[in-house]
Amino acid sequence: MSSDAASQPGGSMLHHFRWAFIVTAIGLLLGAVVGWNSTGTASGTLSIFFICAVLAVLEISLSFDNAIVNANKLKTMSPKWQRRFLTWGILIAVFGMRIVFPLAIVAIAAKVGPWQALVLAVAQPGEYARIMQDAHLSIAAFGGTFLMMVGLCFFFDKEKDEHWVRWIETKMARAAGIRGFEIMLVLVLILGFSSLQANADAADAFFGAAIWGLLTFLGVEALGAMLDSSQEVLEGAAKGGVGAFLYLEVLDASFSFDGVIGAFALSQNLLVIAIGLGIGAMYVRSMTIMLVERGTLKQYCYLEHGAFYAIIVLSIIMFAQSVVHIPEVVTGLGGVAMIGLALWSSIRRNSAAAI
């Protein structure tokens, strides 16, 4: 980036979001083409175009905290692995989570092969959407548990000395000295929500998926530590390589669960969903790069806290969705509001320190 661009906020913003704008233009154009081919009418084309735009906004609102968490992890990674995550990672995020993941769920739930799942998505979108909705309980339990562990582990850290909501965060930091305390809290919530399910089969499905979510988090943490340790010995590289990459990919998958399921409320067309959510994923990538390069997390010290609070809120909402329907707009606005409040608190602190 040139010095002129760096000196001008607008130019810097354009630099960070250039590819997101390009993908938006291509994606919305492709959405219009899909709309015309599927409906053959101007109103149908406009409708599909609008759905793609709404899905992109939905993804951005649900994943804004994801960008902050990504940036928090990326700043500890070596430059090589930062580049790999921002290139390979976005391909996995867009094509893996927004296309392959829904197909995999349908293939497993319907006990068919990947090709049959793709044919089902194209030829019988209504049945495809029904299977995805039927799998929502297990997805919510798995993703909610994983995200809850991510959020709690940020606060249950005995070395954490920067606190936003001091009265509770200081207690959580002290409790971090008790081995497995956050795991106990998550297990209590899993048992509680399992007991609220409509029947025994639903309770078993929720409990089983939630336990797998917990085991996946612990497994990724352990595997990441081993991989990074091995890489450090073999390459002399800083920690935060392949293990952190793996952690971020699983984390992105967990954030994507809710958005992918919620997208079926707006469209049953897999290509339309992939376009809309893919556009949103590009903005999350751009926000991540901007946060890392500008050092925004250091400048606004409570932004990370707000993001991890938003993650905990999202995980609880995902658990609650197994019992009652919660509109996606509530989920998205809740996270944005939490981060906005953290940003406001950071600005107030900076202003007070400058006096």
Strands (E), 196-248: none
For residue 232, the enclosing domain spans 3-354
Tell me if 94 sits within 8 A of 280, measured CB to CB.
no
Predicted confidence at residue 13, as pLDDT, reads 61
CA distance 165 to 162: 10
* pLDDT at 84 (0 to 100): 78
Please tell me the total count of domains within the chain. 1
Question: Which segments within the chain are labelled E, that is strand?
Answer: none
CA distances from 154 to 27, 205, 222, 338 (A): 36, 28, 16, 16
Q: What is the pTM of this model?
A: 0.71
Q: Cα dihedral sign for 260, 266, 270, 272?
A: negative
Mean pLDDT of 132-150: 82
Q: Does the pLDDT at position 94 exceed 50? A: yes
Task: Round to whole Å and give the CA distance between 97 and 95.
Answer: 6
pLDDT tens profile 76-91: 777 777 777 777 776 7
Mean pLDDT taken over the chain: 77
The tokens 């988090």 sit on which residue? 217
Q: What is the pLDDT of residue 238?
A: 39
Q: Which residue has the higher pLDDT, 171 or 67?
A: 171
Which residues have CB under 8 Å from 147's CB, separation 6+? 254, 255, 311, 312, 314, 315, 318
pLDDT tens across 15-40, in order? 777 778 888 888 888 888 888 887 77
Which is more confidently placed, 133 or 25? Answer: 25
Confidence at residue 241, expressed as pLDDT on a 0 to 100 scale:
64
